[in-house]
Amino acid sequence: MSNVKFGITVIFAVLGFGLALVASLVIPTPDASINDAAYRVILAGLILLYLGTGTFSWFKPNRREQFAKCAPFRFVMGLVLLAWDLLGTKFGVLPMPFFPGPSKVTWVFVEEREFLFKNLLYSLRLYFCGFVSGVVAGVGTGIIIGWFARANYWIMPVLKMTGVIPAVAWMPFALTVFPSSFIAGCFLVSMCAWFPVGFQTARGMQTTQKIYFEVAQTIGGGRLYALFHVALPNALPSIFTGVSTANGLAFTTLVMTEMMGARGGLGYYINWAKAWSSYYKVYAAIIIMAILFSLIMKIISKIQARTLVWQKGLTSNVEERG
């Protein structure tokens, strides 16, 4: 891609946000109680962010194509914000209070930043406590099932039966057995992460080709060597598939748990805001959830790419042969 064409692409990527910012500044807001400052700062921040990303990509030819692929989506997102602002804040076309404008929603991040941050920390603590314990238990269960035939006979049916039960169905049991709602929430999140990780780990180990074990035995490797240097590395792609699936299930269970019994968290905040018919606060919490989930997925993807870096070579060879 030429420099001129890429420069036009960068401008195109931020054009939608620029139009939204101009509309917010030029068109007056009829409701004096609405503060547009936070919304305008966010728009300006997005413009600067993508201009900076575009400038960085300018000097990295391999990143230009990636930036160009995202440009249409970013332009449309800017137009969506523009339409939402015009219909919700400027002209009041959308029915209130169910569809507030972006200015009212984003001002919550300033107005209730301390309360939101407190609930965000609660959700993060609950999520990581349950998710990490579920992943560890799932990998451990998968190794036992995948490595020992007798364990596979006895444990796999239990794993399949308990895996189809929604984690929220365990809530009455969890709230009765565990001493606090936080520990009960950790158990529920852990349960929904345990099944996909355990199943995918066992599946990955059981699909390891026999010739790999024969090669390991030829070079003098014992059972432990075959486990940690053959079976587990072969199962890593399946394990990460299970972790990605578990992440979505765990996040959904986390929110439902907080809405039904926790004393804090973003789910609790949504219930609290809904009780007061403050739907703009509900939207603010949903935006935070979406950003948080995206960041967690990004982190998992980065860890997967770093751990499975050897797959890039295999993929490249396949593409070249094709």
Percent of the chain whose pLDDT exceeds 70: 95
pLDDT at 322: 46
Q: Are 189 and 284 part of one and the same domain? A: yes
**pLDDT per residue over 263-288, tens digit each?**
889 999 999 998 888 999 999 999 99
Establish whether the linkage from the previous residue to 97 is cis, with ω within 30° of 0.
yes
Q: Are 161 and 127 part of one and the same domain? A: yes
User: Between 135 and 170, where is the model more confident?
Assistant: 135
The token pair that represents 234 in the structure block: 């072969």
pLDDT at 315: 47
Domain that holds residue 178: 112-311
Q: Per-residue pLDDT averaged across 67-96, rounded?
A: 94
pLDDT tops 60 at residue 242: yes
Q: Are 15 and 93 part of one and the same domain? A: yes
Query: In angstroms, rounded to a whole number, what is the distance separating the alpha carbons of residues 91 and 78?
Result: 18
Last residue of a domain, one of 79, 110, 141: 110
pLDDT at 318: 39
Confirm whether 190 is domain-assigned: yes
Q: Are 100 and 127 part of one and the same domain? A: no
Q: Are 134 and 276 part of one and the same domain? A: yes
Q: Are 246 and 209 part of one and the same domain? A: yes
Sequence-distant (≥ 6) Cβ neighbours of residue 81 within 8 angstroms: 16, 17, 20, 43, 102
**pLDDT per residue over 111-169, tens digit each?**
999 999 999 999 999 999 999 999 999 999 999 999 998 988 998 888 888 877 887 78
pLDDT tops 70 at residue 252: yes
pLDDT at 168: 77
Q: Per-residue pLDDT averaged across 296-309, rounded?
A: 88
**pLDDT per residue over 50-81, tens digit each?**
999 998 888 887 788 889 999 999 999 999 99
Query: In angstroms, rounded to a whole number, what is the distance separating the alpha carbons of residues 169 and 187?
Result: 12
pLDDT at 225: 85
Q: Are 142 and 250 part of one and the same domain? A: yes
pTM as predicted? 0.85
Confirm whether 69 is domain-assigned: yes
pLDDT at 317: 47
Query: In angstroms, rounded to a whole number, what is the distance separating the alpha carbons of residues 191 and 141?
Result: 12
Confidence band, pLDDT 50/70/90 cuts, at residue 313? low
pLDDT tops 80 at residue 37: yes
pLDDT at 9: 92
Confirm whether 189 is domain-assigned: yes
Last residue of a domain, one of 54, 82, 110: 110
Three-state SS letters, 253-314 = HHHHHHHHCCCCCHHHHHHHHHHCCCHHHHHHHHHHHHHHHHHHHHHHHHHHHHHCCHHHHH
pLDDT tops 80 at residue 174: yes
Angle at the Cα of 244 from the Cα atoms of 239 and 249, rounded to 5 degrees: 120
| Mean pLDDT, all residues of the chain | 89
Confidence band, pLDDT 50/70/90 cuts, at residue 320? very low
pLDDT at 305: 87
> Which residues in 182-209 are b (16+ Cβ under 10 Å) and which e?
bbbbbbbbbbbbbbbbbbbbbbbbbebe
pLDDT tops 90 at residue 198: yes
Q: Are 159 and 273 part of one and the same domain? A: yes
* Total number of domains constituting the chain: 2
Alpha helices in 148-222 (DSSP H): 149-163, 171-177, 181-206, 210-218
pLDDT at 314: 52
